[in-house]
Structure 1
Amino acid sequence: MTMHHALLVSEILLDIFAHVNTILDPSSYGEISVARKSLATLATTCRTFHEPAMDLLWADMHGIVPLLGCVTRLHPMIYHHHAGRYTWYSEGIGPLCEHEVPQFLRHAHRVRSLQIPFDNHFHLLSALPIKTFVFPRLLSLSMAIHPAGYLHLFILPTLRRCSLSLIRPDLKLITAYCATLEDLSIKVSSQSTADELSLLSDSIRMCKRLVTLYCPPLDWAAWKHLSNLPTLLSVAICGEVRCPLDTDNFIFTHFLNITALSFHVTTASYVIAVMRNSAFPSLKEFKMVTRVLPLEDAEQLLHVLSQCQTLQHIDILSRDQRVPEPSDSSLTPITQLLGFTHLRTLQLAFPHCCIRLDNHLLLKAMSSWPHIRSLKLEDPLLRLATITFCGLFTALRQSPHLHTLHLLIDALNIDIDSQAESFQHTSLQTLDVRTSHIVDREAVAYILFTMLPSVESVIHGSSGRHIRYAWQEVNRRLQSLKSSAVLGRCITGAAAGC
């Protein structure tokens, strides 16, 4: 059989093989995927297919067992009883001999992405020369563990992405030697010591081309360094703040190109200090998750955020209800967000975030956010809904693009006549009424049916059996109304056809 000429064009062949590499088989969990089996078959089909298929076959590796399987002595141990599964234990097996090293390295040059989930097999590599570049073209490295004495095997100048689970002394070796590192992620599972955080900050200051960074809290020196990186676009800070930032020794700094900031910390003080002493003229996304967020801290945070008029996405979360009552009842977080005219999504979920929220303020907010797509307001201390159906639909008139709304609604006192209203909001698809109480289920279902035609069913809170049952009944009636309307249109259409 003659090969089609199109398959001799390398670009076309690579596109075809790349598509083959995306084939998913949900039933093959823990086994060799359909994509890998297909690439292996293609590699043995002809010389033209061999190299591109083998490159893709070995490009993304989960552990080093497949490479060890290329060693003649180890191959039957790994595959004989496991039918293609990579579940193998190497305890008691001697390290590679000198003549076996080339077998192990046979396809290592093809590896672009490597995940190291455990270190059970690294003792087999003790025969490798110290300066051996095992993976000379490696671009991405993810290590759930840090094998002592073997890290040098994975540190290469080509490395672009690195994900680590510990702050180790050799972290400096990675950031100093990998000059082209663009994506650094350090996700520690336990509390970091002050020495570790100091080492982290020192290591970060060696990175010159970072684009994204995920790590525990940094000191001012590291923040200052990051402000000088024109490549940096996204920073995420996660962990307990061990050493408060000394704002007296920090020069106000501009982060010209950062578009996304995320903080997952115990309190908001660290975040407020960073935002207050910095400028982010390009910031579009801001997210903060804290353990405790008193209203006074939230007000300070929103005040410093108000300087970032470019923000499009804001997400602030803390559901801990052990916060003091606000000393000033006039505080209203939402009022500080009215200047964000570019806002697309807003989620506030912390105690008192809905304080003094009423129909008038909701209308004012929606009028200030003409591009809003998603609005989620979840006050864990709010027990009495202050937004009525009339206030809701008046506000929705100002937000034609809104598709997701999470808001406690007063569904007890129905203050709107849906039969007299002609307004429909066709964009809203997801409506979460939290734990709103309800009495007239039929009336509420009809309001939703006539004025929110794209809402298929209402999401409701799980607390309170009576509330759950009531909203389940609303959804049943809503579905019945929709089914009747579809049937009516079908009958009308059939009659018109006759």
Structure 2
Amino acid sequence: MHRCFKIPEIILLVLQHIKETDERRQLTLLSVAQTCHILHEPALDVLWDEQRGLVNLVKCLPEDALGLTPTSVVDSDSPDAIRVSKSILRITRPLIPADWERFDHHARRIKTLWLDEYQCVMDCKVFLWLDTLAMLHLSRPSTQVLPRLKTLNLQNDVFGLSGRLDMLFGPSLRHLTIQNVKSASREHLAALITCAAQASPNLSFLSSTRPLHPASVRGRLRDIRTLILDLPDNAEHASDLLTWIAELPHLTTLHLKTVVASSVITTQATTPLFTSLDTLHLSADTPRTACRVLSLLTSAPLRGLEISTHDFATVQDVQNIIQAVGQYCNTNTMEGIRVKVRSRGQQVHNTIRLDSMQHLSRFRKLKGLTICTPTPVELKDEDLGELVSAWPSLRILRLRHPAREHHEPKLTLLTLMHLATHCPGLQKLHLTLDAQRGMDGLTIRWPLLSICLTSALTV
């Protein structure tokens, strides 16, 4: 063996390349692990590092402690009622300490777990029996099953596994994702989050497609850096949860979905809110709700902001959002702004003009601006030139609206000259302009402009 393979970092790079590029990665890594003692442990570490379920690990228990029952079921997703193979894996006897040796040997290697209700093994869906986790827990109630687990993704009907998911939590856990868990009751989910907060105090990433109860997190999870949540329907619970979020000292990235007006904090905060927030993705029911949330961000060092609303009323609503962004967001840090306002199909006859857009000229470090509304942003060449002169670092500019009705744009090809002059680093552009006008006076300088456009700009 070449001596370079005695360097652990090189071995790891090779194994990671196999994992990321080889379609038969599992068989390849297993073969590498059987090559020699130098590659054995590193290859097994990479092979077990990320698992799509617990079936492979449970199979590390002695064969006489397991039972695999084959069966077949009709695939509900198939229009032709095709029967698919299915097996149920269960633990058939109480476990003794000697049974855990091989299980523990590989359990310590797992860093990421995608826990679904089943796991595909050789084109067969293998389901864990509902009490499998409970039996593992009863055998060693004080032991974390996966002692080095960092990322846990709970999906689909995994909550049917007899409520022993808490045995997967521990001090090493950093990322927790809960998605599509329709079978989980509100109380069960609250208990799970409470357990995660207690057993995994270093949790830094939490994502849930189900609303959380404020009591399950209040005063806990202070180390959260990234949070992706739907707020509860209950206005009081939603407001309490938003208060907890706003006071998290290390929160840098926040995705808030289905925010309604009644959930926004109404009391005057005694301490600064969102003091570490870097990126906010906000999905609100109305533009007015979005503005109320923005009013809480005066202490946030925001660099990225994305706002979407589901209920468009008037052009004034869009103008209010733009004004609120300019009024409440930090002008010294903001680099990217995306505003998307949806319409319910009503016709809009007004337009957004320069006086509304000028609120954004305060952000001198702006690198990206996207505004997508049911109504067009109506600017003249000189108006846009005045705006972009405030954004010398601009890389992305998108001013979009649905083309349901014919709208005569006032921007001409002269706009490209303003952009090339004031925003030399522009890379992406989406504008509606009249390409038949604006050529006067560009004859001499057009070759330079065309080079700039073709080399650095995608229109």
Q: How would you bin the TM-score normalised by the shorter chain?
A: 0.7 to 0.9
Query: Which residue of structure 1 aligns with residue 200 of structure 2?
Result: 178
Superimposed CA distance per residue, residues 84-130 of structure 1 (whole angstroms, 9 cap, x where no aligned partner): xxx96334x54342348535555222111000122531424442233
Q: Distance in 2 between matches of 1:234 and 1:273?
A: 19
Q: Distance in 2 between matches of 1:328 and 1:453?
A: 31
Q: 1:277 to 1:232 in 2, by over 3 A?
A: closer
Query: Which residue of structure 1 aligns with residue 321 of structure 2?
Result: 301
Any conservation in 2 of the 1:315–1:346 contact (CA below 8 Å)? Answer: yes
Any conservation in 2 of the 1:142–1:164 contact (CA below 8 Å)? Answer: yes
Instruction: Name the SS for the 2:393 alignment partner.
Output: coil
- Where does structure 2 lack aligned partners over 5 or more consecutive residues? 71-83, 119-126, 233-237
Code of the residue aligned with 1:298 in structure 2: it is V
Counterpart selection for 2:284 from 251, 261, 265? 265
Code of the residue aligned with 2:337 in structure 1: it is I
Query: Which residue of structure 1 aligns with residue 176 of structure 2?
Result: 162
Counterpart selection for 1:56 from 37, 46, 69? 46
Query: Which residue of structure 1 aligns with residue 94 of structure 2?
Result: 98
Instruction: Name the SS for the 2:171 alignment partner.
Output: coil
Q: 1:161 to 1:455 in 2, by over 3 A?
A: closer
Instruction: Decide which moves more: 380-389 or 53-62.
Output: 380-389
Any conservation in 2 of the 1:61–1:114 contact (CA below 8 Å)? Answer: yes
Any conservation in 2 of the 1:235–1:261 contact (CA below 8 Å)? Answer: yes
**What TM-score do you get using the length of structure 2 for normalisation?**
0.78
Counterpart selection for 2:367 from 344, 363, 384? 344
Q: Distance in 2 between matches of 1:112 and 1:418?
A: 59
Any conservation in 2 of the 1:43–1:51 contact (CA below 8 Å)? Answer: yes
Instruction: Name the SS for the 2:305 alignment partner.
Output: strand
Instruction: Name the SS for the 2:135 alignment partner.
Output: coil
Query: Which residue of structure 1 aligns with residue 15 of structure 2?
Result: 17
> How far did 1:317 drift?
0.8
Counterpart selection for 1:45 from 27, 32, 35? 35
Counterpart selection for 2:57 from 67, 71, 79? 67
Q: Distance in 1 between matches of 2:35 and 2:278?
A: 47
Any conservation in 2 of the 1:359–1:391 contact (CA below 8 Å)? Answer: yes
Instruction: Decide which moves more: 57-66 or 274-283.
Output: 274-283
Query: Which residue of structure 2 aligns with residue 433 of structure 1?
Result: none
Any conservation in 2 of the 1:334–1:353 contact (CA below 8 Å)? Answer: no
Query: Which residue of structure 2 aligns with residue 89 of structure 1?
Result: 86
Query: Which residue of structure 1 aligns with residue 115 of structure 2?
Result: 116
Instruction: Decide which moves more: 70-79 or 147-156.
Output: 70-79
- Where does structure 1 lack aligned partners over 5 or more consecutive residues? 26-32, 80-86, 189-195, 429-451, 459-498
Q: 1:250 to 1:322 in 2, by over 3 A?
A: farther
Any conservation in 1 of the 2:319–2:352 contact (CA below 8 Å)? Answer: no
Provide the identity percentage: 22
Code of the residue aligned with 1:45 in structure 2: it is T
Q: 1:408 to 1:75 in 2, by over 3 A?
A: farther
Query: Which residue of structure 1 aligns with residue 357 of structure 2?
Result: 334
Any conservation in 2 of the 1:374–1:405 contact (CA below 8 Å)? Answer: yes
Pairs within 5 Å for 1:316-465: 316-320=339-343, 322=345, 332-354=355-377, 356-380=378-402, 383-413=407-437, 415-416=439-440, 419-425=443-449, 452-454=453-455
Code of the residue aligned with 1:89 in structure 2: it is K
Any conservation in 2 of the 1:295–1:353 contact (CA below 8 Å)? Answer: no
Code of the residue aligned with 2:418 in structure 1: it is T
Superimposed CA distance per residue, residues 206-247 of structure 1 (whole angstroms, 9 cap, x where no aligned partner): 111111111113744444444443322111111253843241
Q: Distance in 1 between matches of 2:411 and 2:351?
A: 22
Q: Distance in 2 between matches of 1:357 and 1:456?
A: 21
Instruction: Name the SS for the 2:41 alignment partner.
Output: helix
Any conservation in 1 of the 2:117–2:155 contact (CA below 8 Å)? Answer: yes
Q: Distance in 1 between matches of 2:30 and 2:69?
A: 18
Instruction: Name the SS for the 1:397 alignment partner.
Output: helix
Query: Which structure has more RCO (C-alpha within 8 Å, separation ≥ 6)?
Result: 2
Superimposed CA distance per residue, residues 18-75 of structure 1 (whole angstroms, 9 cap, x where no aligned partner): 33333243xxxxxxx33x2222112111222221211111010011222234353699
Code of the residue aligned with 1:7 in structure 2: it is F
Counterpart selection for 2:151 from 140, 153, 156? 140
Q: 1:181 to 1:246 in 2, by over 3 A?
A: closer
Pairs within 5 Å for 1:23-38: 23-25=21-23, 33-34=24-25, 36-38=26-28
Q: Alpha carbon RMSD of aligned pairs, Å?
A: 3.3
